[in-house]
Amino acid sequence: MYKIIGLLGLGVILLLSNPVFSEGLDYSPTIYDPIKVTISNTFDDVIFDGEWSFKQEWKASSLDSFRFNGNDLILRTAHQDDYMYVLIDVLGDITNDHMADRAIVCFDGKDTSKMADDSDWCYVATRGSKNAHTLNGGSPVHRTSHFHIEKNHPDLIAIGGTSGENDRYLRTPHAAYEFRIPIEQIGFENEYGFFMQVFDGKTVMAYPNEHSGKYPQKIPSPERWGMMISPDRSISSEHFNQN
């Protein structure tokens, strides 16, 4: 298993950049601002094809906007029933670097630790591919940031594609990534450590933005991630009501 991870180091796990602060807009979250995920009831209609499939598809979700060195990125998040939904709409990536464009989202549902443990989960989507990758903390291998490849949950979806015609923000074809993540795997919590990073074949865009830049590096320690919160505490209460 560790041999496999070593071969994938610069591909799946070593996605990330040297710390270079991004150029932010007034509305861009800082490294201290949490992502506020909302509860929704419309996500049974989402078509997971790596694009904004129809105008209302991701409307009932939280919106966070970022700018990285002049390139805009839209993050939409929601939860419904047993799933977390994430759309990363990379408006600035209008070139298609086949199998090089990819996105990763990570969640830490327990007490944040310096070293990734088994409560830390990352999910990787590649543009032009329906093959997701799951990473879980707890590996003793330092060079993989203490993550190892884990078998995908049967309900996981992580897909990268090209959005355009129906996109709410930009009709020019550009990269987009859609995720459906089983909450039972990351834990029914109202507060997560959260990390996002997108690689467009040339540069890296990340939340927190201190991890953005041009050069690959390992996934940062969970203590350097940002946060995602459920302001109405509906993730844990929804799980309680189901049981």
- Residue 26: phi, psi to the nearest 5? -60, -35
Q: In angstroms, how far is the first alpha carbon of the chain from the final one?
A: 36
Full domain range(s) for residue 55:
2-242
pLDDT of residue 96: 84
Which positions ≥6 away from 11 have C-beta within 8 Å? Answer: none
Question: What backbone phi and psi angles, to 5 degrees, belong to 227?
Answer: -135, 150
For 29-41, what is each residue's pLDDT tens digit?
444 689 999 999 9
Average pLDDT score over residue span 147-172: 95
Nearest Cα neighbor of 75 from 218, 209, 215, 213 is: 209
Reported pTM: 0.86
Residue 88: predicted pLDDT: 97
Residue pair 176/182 in contact (Cβ under 8 Å)? The answer is no
Would you state the pLDDT for residue 69? Answer: 82
Q: How do residues 6-32 score in pLDDT, each as one tens digit?
A: 334 445 554 433 333 333 333 344 446
Number of domains making up the chain: 1
Q: What 3 state SS string does 109-171 have?
A: CCCCCCCCCCCEEEEEEEECCCCCEEEEECCCCHHHCCEEEECCCCCCEEEEEEECCCCCCCC
CATH of the domain at 112: 2.60.40.1190
Q: What's the pLDDT at 39?
A: 96
Higher pLDDT, residue 202 or 53: 53
Q: Are 132 and 158 in contact (CB under 8 A)?
A: yes
DSSP, collapsed to helix, strand or coil, labels residue 36 as strand
- Percentage above 70 pLDDT, the chain: 83
**pLDDT for residue 64:** 95
